[in-house]
Amino acid sequence: MPDAASRAVVVLLAVLGAGTTALQLSGAQEAGRLVPAALALGSGAAAAVLARRAARLPRTARRPWQALAAAGALLALGQVLALARPDRDMSAGGVEDLPALLAVPVAVSAAVLLLPPRAERRLGTRVVLDGLVVTIAVALLGDVLLADLLAAVRGPAEGLIAVGYPLVGAVLCGIGLVTLTAVSEDRRRAAGWLLASFVAMAVVALGGAAGRTAEGAAPVAGVVTVLAWLAMLGTALGAAAADPPVPAADFPPGSRRALPLRGGVLAHGAATAALVGLTAGVVAGRPLQAAEAGAATVLLLLAAVRTLSWVLDAARLTRRLERTEGWFRALVHSGDAVTVELDAAGRVTSATGAVEAQLGRPEEDLRGRLLVGLLHEEDRDLVVRVAAALRDGAPDGLPATGRLRTADGAWREVEVSGAARTGGRRTGDGLVLHLRDVTERRASHRELERLAYTDSLTGLPNRARFMAALDGALARAGRGARACVLLVDLDGFKAVNDLAGHDAGDRLLVEVAAALRAEARGTDLVARLGGDEFALVVDGGPDEALALAERLVAKLDRTSRHAAPGEPETAGPVLRVSASVGVTEVLSGADASATVREADLALRTVKAQGKNGVRASGEALVEESARRSRLARDLPGAIARGELRMVYQPVAGAEERRVLGVEALVRWDHPELGPVPPEEFIGLAEDDGLIVPLQRWVLATATAEHARLVAGGRDLKLGVNISVRHLQARCLVEDVTRALEGSGLPAHLLMVEVTESVLMDDDERLLAELAELSALGCVVSLDDFGKGYSSLAYLARLPVQVLKMDRGFVSGIDTDPRVAALVGSVVDLGRTLGMDVVAEGVETRAQLEVLTALGCRFLQGWHIGRPVPAADLPARVDGFDPALVGGPEAVAVP
């Protein structure tokens, strides 16, 4: 783009052109001095701007314009020398012509420097032919136009001027054409301006020759010469402005056109003009010179050769096009897509490929029809959408899908997999569409999507669909819409599964799903999250959601008989099933996971408060959640800060009537929250993956303190509770060995207590881990026996020496004969399996007497002794009152 300086010089040249024309046509005497001065001023200004432009370009890109600036400076110098000879003879020439003549080869060098580097410069025969044709045509045309001038020359000087100037112009035109054809595409505009400058220079040469030698032609020739001179300078500035600021060596190879079309057109145009001019002269009675006839013959031959090369090129391109078209047709017919061409009005002009198989209509039926008329009314914007996607040149909106009516009236889903305009990017062109039948694929996709978002048992949406619906509700909440989330969990479902079987449980889930659907509105989403947990996304505020939750609790609270498969409905156990519901509002700015956590917190609160109810999230739940978060954050550093401590509860023998062992219990004294119940932070440690480092500390501390107790001559066993997570971590044996070695405690004094949940994990590796502990010499105890659903068959395989009955058995043993009978069965089971049985939770004398009467030898609980720190344990052991475990007299079992 021209800069301000270039535009200013162009304006200056226009002013100079108008002024000099007026001076020359008026015949003023001052024209002899003012015209050269104007030309000198214009040439110098143009040279300065060209030099300034060249200085801003990279080194390899500035050379052509430095040469052109030098040519402009030489032209300005010639006009300055002309001013020094006011009385010069125009026909004789003089020293002022020498700089002008030198400017010609300098300008030619600018054209040469504009060409690509030599390694990439492949002019070719066609480019050379075009240059020769233009050179000869311009020379011949100049000869025709200056025929009378050449006949009137008087001496060698005039002959040199009359013949040399036109030849120089011809050569310049030929070189300019070659440059235009051979340069890279990026510099094509600059080469075009340079060719225009060379043509203007040729006009200057012809006008100069006419003005110097033709009597009476000086005024007109002078005007033409001056205007052509100024045009030459202006087009030279245009060439410099059009050149990109990139070195010619940086242009990618092969960026030139394969066929020099512009050069061929200009060459044929020049040849035609020359031959027409020569023919017109002959018709007018002008004699044909031998040189002119020879030049015309050569020109015709060169033009014929050039035409032949065009014919050969056209034949070569035709063959290549035919091959390409054949490949294209083979590609189209070998694929499964149908290629449909539409005109600007949207009518089908052609269709290729498996048309009837893909679109359900023969090609003849499609041709001439409006494609929009065959589409479903909801999909009739398909063509518009495809055209809009192509508007910016890239089909980002593809593939697009629509429904197309077949010949028998059915609908097929077709996909536009590709599209293009028939004429490039013009908006009035038609379209080429690639269509394929995707009916089966879309049906499969919808089925897979349905399966992916549907619970297979109940037919309800699953967790993934629920989370997507919750995301939508959150988005609507940002726009002011209200919604709530309900989490529904069944109470008593596990008993149905365990006692009546999984088939009965599945039937119950299906019935619950139907009940939830019946109570929910059509705009609400009901989903099954897994197991016996359901969820609803309700459109409405908390009042509507709580009312729905209350209806659900009332409807799902039932006591019924659950028969096993194959049994009559009157068979099976009678079990009660109810529901607990947690409710939270969907708030703008929250995320889906946080919303579900709020509802889950409310649900767990209902469970903790007795089940079969409704609870909404609120401040109390937030406080509970904040406490749990605080404990989770502080627990990892509790050991380092010394906030954990150990206490020990005695275990007494009924026959020995003394303390036989102690159970190690960990306590956490939080500096701000106070004592934290073990059931609160132990579960937290298991959930957050902190149970293994916590129990390593317990093992190390308890064995070290117990070793000091044993060193005082007390033969006591130490019981340490171990989480099943520690067993699953596969490092318990190593941790126990390290603790024993560090404390010096004998292995047979350590009793590893695991909960009966290990029975539910039928894993040979856990069995091997326990066997290694037993082989190490440790005693393996099964804690809380009877609290869950023990597998007695698996119990026989475990290396367990002690069963510790859950305190739930002991609490009613002195008042309920059935509980006493059950405890007696556990004692007998232990005796049969060779296991000692320990009763936990002994709090009263009556409980102790019943247990001893049933043959339970080992007792633990507040009646025997409360947990005490290690410092107080020696006094508690040594001062134990044997009367606490009763006398030898018999007690009646209730």
Whether 156 is in a domain gets the answer no
Give the domain range for residue 838.
633-879
Number of domains comprising the chain: 3
For residues 465 and 602, membership in a common domain is answered with yes
Confidence of residue 485 (pLDDT cuts 50, 70, 90): very high
Phi, psi (deg, nearest 5) at residue 229? -60, -50
| pLDDT value, residue 158 | 44
Angle, in degrees to the nearest 10, between helices 290-334 and 261-283? 150
Amino acid at 97: D
- The DSSP output letter for 866 is -
For residues 600 and 733, membership in a common domain is answered with no
Whether 507 is in a domain gets the answer yes
pLDDT tens for each residue of 12-48: 989 988 888 888 888 777 777 888 888 889 889 999 9
Amino acid at 21: T
Spatial CB neighbours of 121, under 8 Å, sequence gap ≥ 6: 115, 182
Spatial CB neighbours of 702, under 8 Å, sequence gap ≥ 6: 646, 648, 664, 718, 720
Confidence of residue 306 (pLDDT cuts 50, 70, 90): confident
Phi, psi (deg, nearest 5) at residue 722? -125, 130
Give the integer Cα–Cα distance in Å for 683 and 731: 20
For residues 743 and 658, membership in a common domain is answered with yes
| pLDDT value, residue 370 | 87
| pLDDT value, residue 263 | 64
User: Is the per-residue pLDDT at 620 higher than 70?
Assistant: no
For residues 713 and 805, membership in a common domain is answered with yes
Greatest mean pLDDT among 110-114, 737-741, 791-795 = 737-741
Q: Which residues lie across from 565 on neighbouring strands?
A: none
Whether 425 is in a domain gets the answer yes
pLDDT tens for each residue of 242-261: 888 764 444 444 444 444 56
CA separation (Å) from 20 to 32, 97, 205, 217, 410?
10, 20, 18, 17, 82
Confidence of residue 891 (pLDDT cuts 50, 70, 90): very low
Lowest mean pLDDT among 63-67, 212-216, 825-829: 212-216
Greatest mean pLDDT among 197-206, 281-290, 614-623 = 197-206
Give the integer Cα–Cα distance in Å for 37 and 301: 46
For residues 428 and 570, membership in a common domain is answered with no
Task: For the chain, give the mean pLDDT.
Answer: 81
Give the integer Cα–Cα distance in Å for 254 and 548: 75
For residues 541 and 465, membership in a common domain is answered with yes
Q: State CA 91 to chain mean position distance.
A: 78
For residues 766 and 653, membership in a common domain is answered with yes
Top-confidence residue, 342 or 219? 342
CATH code assigned at 405: 3.30.450.20
For residues 507 and 411, membership in a common domain is answered with no
Whether 369 is in a domain gets the answer yes
Whether 203 is in a domain gets the answer no
For residues 645 and 788, membership in a common domain is answered with yes
Which of left, alpha, beta for 93 (phi over 0: left; psi -120 to 50: alpha)? left
The proportion of the chain whose per-residue pLDDT surpasses 90, expressed as a percent, equals 28
- Cβ-based neighbour number of residue 653 at 10 Å: 16
Q: State CA 305 to chain mean position distance.
A: 58
Average pLDDT over residues 852-859: 93
CATH code assigned at 691: 3.20.20.450
CATH code assigned at 601: 3.30.70.270
For residues 459 and 572, membership in a common domain is answered with yes
| pLDDT value, residue 516 | 95
Top-confidence residue, 601 or 538? 538
| pLDDT value, residue 421 | 77
User: In the listed set 586, 617, 648, which residue is the last one of a domain according to the structure?
Assistant: 617
Please name which of 331, 279, 283, 286 lies closest in space to residue 300, comparing C-alpha atoms: 279
Confidence of residue 194 (pLDDT cuts 50, 70, 90): confident
Lowest mean pLDDT among 132-136, 233-237, 700-704, 887-891: 887-891
- The DSSP output letter for 380 is T
| pLDDT value, residue 159 | 45
Whether 54 is in a domain gets the answer no
Confidence of residue 569 (pLDDT cuts 50, 70, 90): low
User: In the listed set 446, 463, 494, which residue is the last one of a domain according to the structure?
Assistant: 446
Greatest mean pLDDT among 86-90, 336-340, 359-363 = 359-363
Average pLDDT over residues 231-241: 88
How many Cα atoms occupy the beta-carbon half-sphere of 874 within 13 Å?
Answer: 11
Average pLDDT over residues 262-275: 74
Top-confidence residue, 367 or 140? 367
pLDDT tens for each residue of 694-746: 999 999 999 999 999 999 889 999 999 998 888 878 899 999 999 999 999 99
User: In the listed set 411, 427, 446, which residue is the last one of a domain according to the structure?
Assistant: 446
For residues 759 and 643, membership in a common domain is answered with yes
Top-confidence residue, 836 or 629? 836
The separation between the first and the last C-alpha atoms of the chain, rounded to the nearest angstrom, is 111
Lowest mean pLDDT among 497-506, 766-775, 828-837: 497-506
Whether 274 is in a domain gets the answer no
Phi, psi (deg, nearest 5) at residue 478? -65, -20
For residues 492 and 359, membership in a common domain is answered with no
Top-confidence residue, 460 or 184? 460
- Asked whether the CA dihedral 314, 316, 317, 322 is positive or negative, the reply is positive
Whether 488 is in a domain gets the answer yes
| pLDDT value, residue 93 | 56
Give this prediction's pTM: 0.41
pLDDT tens for each residue of 468-483: 999 999 999 989 899 9
Ranges of H-type helices in 413-456 = 439-452
Which of left, alpha, beta for 657 (phi over 0: left; psi -120 to 50: alpha)? left
| pLDDT value, residue 838 | 95
